[in-house]
Amino acid sequence: MLKPVGLAAGKGGRQPFIGRVRELVADGPLKDAVEALLKALQEVSRQIGILTRRLMGPARQDQAA
């Protein structure tokens, strides 16, 4: 969504990805759309963490047995 309009968040660096993206679109026409996508990204990441913990618990118990 950002590249076609000449914006790039880049890779790595000290600043987290979400912060870099927010700076790029601050006060611009893409701000609302990008903010919605960032919220979705955060929720998906949160859900992945929950599912990973749910799967790793039994897996660790199986290894210990």
Confidence band of 65 (pLDDT split at 50, 70, 90): low
Confidence band of 43 (pLDDT split at 50, 70, 90): very high
Give the pLDDT mean for 56-62.
84
Q: State pTM to two decimals.
A: 0.71
| Number of domain units in the chain | 1
Which tens digits make up the pLDDT trace of 2-38?
777 888 887 755 568 889 899 999 999 999 999 999 9
Confidence band of 40 (pLDDT split at 50, 70, 90): very high
- Give the count of beta carbons closer than 10 Å to the beta carbon of residue 25: 20
Q: Which domain holds residue 17?
A: 3-64
List Cα–Cα distances, 27 to 5, 11, 30, 34, 46, in angstroms. Answer: 15, 23, 8, 12, 27
